[in-house]
Structure 1
Amino acid sequence: MNDLVTWLRAQLDEDEERTRELLYWTQQTILALKEPKLLGKYIPGWHDWPKVERLCRERLAEVDAKRRILDDAAGYIADGMEAATDGLAGRVVAYLALPYADRPGYRDEWRPE
């Protein structure tokens, strides 16, 4: 289970890094579109950039929430209290990892039943 927790933390770190990079370039694009020489010109899709920015912020909040859930569940497992949760802590970690099952390093043994 420790391998899964470590692997999942790395996936969340990667998600955060990629999302922060996208957020940066989205904000740069929004600023560029406010350039005076572009005012009044039709730029297809210009109105979608704030939506992308919002999605990035939501994704960062989602990654943070997943980290908190993972930390709580991993704490129960590390403290030997998983039995007290009737196995829920381990299942929560396995469920959190499912969206990343197509990434390198995911093991079929981690897939919840």
Structure 2
Amino acid sequence: MSTDLVEFLHARFDDDEQAAHAALGTNELAQPAGQQARWVRQGDQIWSQGRSDVPVVGKTWARPAEHIVRHDPARVLSEVDAKRRVLADAASFTEDGQQAVFQLLALPYADHPDYRPEWAPGTSA
């Protein structure tokens, strides 16, 4: 499997992690993994647990609010950690297994300008 795809994945995971920390107003050393404040919906606003002075998101509609809360920065950080573990564990897979895992991990980033069509699931790279 192409090292370019693995490098692409590491870069996207780093981007996701940095964006989550920016949304939390923290850095990677601020809180241990899994201990970040979760976002919760209260009425038509979204708040960070443990902070009640300023809402994270002001007035919003119910459906977008539920989506925002479901994909809060703490969850993104947890998902990044899980994806990095899958990437590391894939080293023990067959070459075909690695390719399939890497292609699937890259699929959510298909709209990124550095994504290559040959990385789509089911193609041979």
Give TM-score, length-normalised by structure 1. Answer: 0.67
- CA spacing shift, 1:4–1:44, aligned 2, 3 Å: closer
1:31 and 1:11 mapped to 2: Cα distance? 32
Counterparts of 1:5-44 in structure 2 under 5 Å?
5-24=6-25, 30-33=51-54, 44=59
| SS of corresponding position for 2:79 | helix
Higher relative contact order (CA 8 A, sep 6+): 1
- Structure 2 gap segments, 5+ residues each: 27-46
Does the 8 Å CA contact 1:23/1:53 hold for their aligned counterparts? no
Aligned partner (choices 68, 77, 100) of residue 109 of structure 2: 100
SS at match of 2:102: helix
How many residues are treated as equivalent by the alignment? 91
The residue correspondences of 1:17-96 to structure 2 (distance < 5 A) are 17-24=18-25, 30-33=51-54, 44=59, 52=69, 55-73=72-90, 75-76=91-92, 82-83=94-95, 87-96=96-105
Provide structure 1 residue ranges, at least 5 long, that are not aligned to the other structure.
35-42
Task: State which structure, 1 or 2, has the greater radius of gyration over its C-alpha atoms.
Answer: 1
Cα deviation code 1:1-51 (max 9, x no counterpart): 111000110000000000111122875xx35339xxxxxxxx756xx7xx7
Among the aligned pairs, what percent are the same residue? 38
Contact 1:100/1:106 (<8 A) preserved: yes
Aligned partner of 1:112 among 109, 118, 121: 121
RMSD (Å) for aligned C-alpha atoms: 2.8
The whole-number CA distance in structure 1 between the counterparts of 2:70 and 2:25 is: 9
| Residue of structure 2 equivalent to 1:2 | 3
- Could you say if the C-alpha distance between residues 110 and 44 of structure 1 is closer, same or farther in structure 2, counting changes exceeding 3 Å? closer
TM-score, normalised relative to structure 2: 0.61
